[in-house]
Amino acid sequence: MEDSNSYIRVSGFVLGSLMFQHLNSDSDVEGLILGETKAEERSNITDSQIDNIQFEHTINIQKHISCRKLNSFYNRIGEVNQDEIRHILSNYKEENVIGWYKQRRNTDQQITFREQVVHENLKRALSNHELIFLLLTPSEITTSGSTHKLEYAVFRSHGSQYCSVPVLVSNLGLLEEQDYWRLSASCSSVNYNHAVRKHRSKFFSSDGSLHEVDEINDMNNSLQGELKIACKKVEESERLVEKLLADVSDLRRMVNDRKQELGEISADGASTPAQPQENVLLCEVIKTLFPGASLLQTQALNFQGFPLPEFCCSTDHGIDIATTLPLILSHTLPKARKGRLGRGGGTSWRKRPLRESSEVPKRRKGMLEETEESLSVSGSETEEDLIPANQNGNDLDVSNSPVF
Amino acid sequence: MNSMSPEVALNRISPELRPLLCSVVRNGRVGLDSTNCLRVTDLKTGCTSLTPGPCCDRFKLHIPYAGETLKWDIIFNARDPELPPDFIFGEDAEFLPEPSELPHLVQWDAGDPECLLQLVKELIQQYHQYQCQRLRESSRLLFEYDSLLEDPNYSRSMEIYAGHKNSWTGEFSARFLLKLPVDFSNIPVYLLKDTTLDPGEDVALLSVSFEDAEATQVFPKLYLSPSIEHALGGSSALHIPAFPSGGCLIDYVPQVCQLLTNKVQYVIQGYHKRREYIAAFLSHFGMGVVEYDAEGFTKLTLLLMWKDFCFLVHVDLPLYFPRDQPTLTFQSVYHFTNSGQLYSQVQKSYPYSPRWDGNEMAKRAKAYFKSFIPQFQEGAFATGKL
């Protein structure tokens, strides 16, 4: 499938200079337009079709030459005078003429009878079937004359019909261009071309390609290689994660099955509605580690978040902490361990402020000697010693933050 | 669209271009429908807004053509008034006349006030050719055109407007405007109430609209110039027949033409008959004639006496006399009605024949007067009051 698109490209300063030159003229004006034409064929391959060919025909307007008076290069019936055209062009070549323009004040944006005749004759005279006609029509918008508008359009003939061609004005910031330019901007300046030719060999090789292109290609290849290695590693780790996730799922399924079995067994004889399960292990541990701390043993909090001592669990769950959770007792202080194993000692611990430090160093030293291998200092411990609360008989001095 | 009078347009146009526009707005009659001059609107200037006026040099020209109104832009340049104008042909963007076949463009003379008008007429001629070419989109309509072209009565007096093809329905329409070759020269001179108005040329135009290319929906309409319309008895006096299904213009147009011709002949004969009638009454009643219509011969008033009883007789002759009988109104000169009017009686039925000549009608009328007056007198004395 083939598509054909035609565009007119003109830089902002070329169009602006043309408009500025003629906007204040006291009559209709006309002139010739110079530039060049480029045709490009692009082949896009998409998922749906493999041969989508687009022809882009771009006409670049580079310069304008105004005529000193109307009807200077044609007569009353639109016949073109080629000598007069050459005179107007002076040093420029006829091949550079890509069209002509006219500014008509207060008229419609429509090509006139004579303009059509002149256009056809000019096409024949210049042997250019792609000749364009730029029409500018300034007009007043308000009756007070405070606001004027200048409309412009480019026309090209297809047989007897004239259709408008889209105009792209290239300003400093080319807002509509999203891709890289595939062709360099055209410029007819002699000095520009001279400067480029002088330094060209530093950038381009003999075949016209840039020197750095090969180097960049090599770097690109290296990057591709590294990318491949990284991708391989990612793939391997992803597979490992997948396997682990599968294992976890299996274990969870097994746990759920076991729970269901236990639940079925207990449901056979139970007639009471389901109650929240008590964490009996936690309950026994707290009782062991903090025998007198009722605040720690409670299972209920009030609306302000304070524990309610009257909801402590008083049930003996018959769990031997030393055998069930030996690590809990191994991490406690030796004195504390001895107190716990006695069960019912009711000894609870609290921190003693530093002002009682006269007794602390000895006790601490003793404690440290016994537990230096197994004791680990936690971040929540402070310089204050841990002393049994019943030593001063004041439970209110116990810290509100439980420390395990 | 800002329609403006010719004087306003002439005041705003650039002075160098004024003579050209003057001939267009004052004498510009083009085409078959030349009852009105060409109209100018949307006068604008190509100069800057700071240029002091009058400096307008471009405008829209409204041209009647085949029942449509063409709106063409005409563009001059006030700074170069010697240059010929340029044109934009409105919606007919495809109309491109051959410039070498426009003599007044090739030999444009800005000093000749008639140059622009003549150029417009030449463009209209080429526009007509362009419309005729467009009829080729329908073989049926092309046949209608070709058949009329062969008849010298209509070939030179025909305007065709081929509408644009409806891109949705695919329908193609066209309108034929024909000037009917009917001789109106013998119709009595018509006096307009406003004598400053020029009634224009006496012309009858037949417009036939084909709403589809196969001629299944055809709508004819007859347009008459004001004098003709008045002479024939108004717009409702003449009804043309409907376009026959499956018919063609070459048969229908002569039919309408004949109908109109007959009507005109009838009106002319009626005028002559009325004149003859009045002349006979003048001859028979001599000094008894009080007054009569010397233009249209439609009225006559007699003052008569019978046995010392004077009375007036008003005779009203209808448009289609002698087919329609004249109305006699007897009026007493002595008696009044209760409303203060003179006592009168109208007689529409009395011995009459349209085949009598004027002399016979006068004699018969005289005899009728004698037989009716006693009865009228009795009624006047009985009903009226002095």
One-letter identity of residue A6:
S
Asked if A102 has any chain B CB less than 8 Å from its own CB, the reply is: no
Task: Provide DSSP, A241-286.
Answer: HHHHHHHHHHHHHHHHHHHHHHHHHHHHH--SPP-PPP-HHHHHHH
Give CA–CA dist A292/A398, Å, rounded.
Answer: 10
Q: DSSP readout, A219-249?
A: HHHHHHHHHHHHHHHHHHHHHHHHHHHHHHH
Q: How far apart are CA A104 and CA B77, in angstroms?
A: 10
> Across chain A, which distance is largest between two alpha carbons, in Å?
128
CA atoms of A347 and A329, how far apart (whole Å): 15
Give the tens place of pLDDT for each residue, A298-316. 778 888 888 887 777 777 7
- Mean pLDDT along residues B104-132: 94
Tell whether A68 is within 8 A of chain B (Cβ).
no
Tell me the pLDDT tens digit for each residue of A350-374. 444 444 444 444 444 444 444 444 4
Tens digit of each residue's pLDDT (9 = 90 or more) over A324-333: 777 777 655 5
Taking CA–CA distances from B100, the nearest residue in chain A reads A77
Answer whether A140 sits within 8 Å of B97, measured CB to CB.
no
pLDDT on residue A275? 58
Q: Could you give the CA distance from residue B348 to residue B331 in angstroms, rounded to a whole number?
A: 14
Q: How far is CA A68 from CA A27, A40, A133, A137, B49, in A?
A: 11, 36, 18, 19, 21
Q: pLDDT higher for B57 or A347?
A: B57
Which residue among A70, A104, A161 places its CB closest to the CB of B80? A70
Q: Are A103 and A30 a contacting pair, CB within 8 Å?
A: yes
Q: Is the pLDDT of residue A384 over 50?
A: no
Of A76, A105, A162, Cβ closest to residue B46: A105
| Amino acid symbol at B173 | S
CB contact A145 to B (< 8 Å): yes
CB < 8 Å from A in window 25-54 of B: 44-49, 51
Q: What is the arithmetic mean of pLDDT over B223-227?
A: 81
Q: Is B130 on the interface with A (CB under 8 A)?
A: no
Quick check: A161 and B93 CB within 8 A?
yes
Q: What confidence category does residue B169 fall into, taking pLDDT thresholds of 50, 70 and 90?
A: low
CA distance, residue B272 to nearest chain A CA (Å): 55
| A76, A105, A112 member nearest B106 (Cβ) | A76
User: What is the arithmetic mean of pLDDT over A113-133?
Assistant: 94
Instruction: Give the mean model confidence (pLDDT) for residues A54-66.
Output: 87
| Partner A contacted by B96 (CB < 8 A) | yes
pLDDT attached to residue A351: 44
Lowest average pLDDT, out of A75-79, A168-172, B369-373, goes to A168-172
Cβ-defined contact of A27 to B46 (cutoff 8 Å): yes
**Predicted complex: ipTM over 0.90:** no
Report the candidate in B262, B299, B263 with the shortest Cα–Cα distance to residue B281.
B299
Rounded alpha-carbon distances, angstroms, from residue B83 to A24, A55, A330, A381, B21: 21, 43, 117, 108, 15
For the whole prediction, is pTM greater than 0.80? Answer: no
HSE-up of residue B5 (Cα within 13 Å, Cβ side): 3
Q: How far apart are CA B336 and CA B350, in angstroms?
A: 25
A52 touches chain B (CB under 8 A): no
Phi/psi at A165 (5° precision) = -110, 135
Does residue B105 sit at the A interface (CB-CB below 8 Å)? yes
Is A161's CB within 8 Å of B94's CB?
yes
Contact A113 B87 (CB under 8 A): yes
Q: What's the pLDDT score for residue A2?
A: 52
Report the pLDDT averaged over residues B339-353. Answer: 90
**10 Å Cβ neighbour count for A360?**
19
Strands (E), B211-244: 218-224
- Residue B156 pLDDT more than 50? yes
Model confidence band, residue A375 (pLDDT cutoffs 50, 70, 90):
very low
Mean pLDDT of B66-93: 93
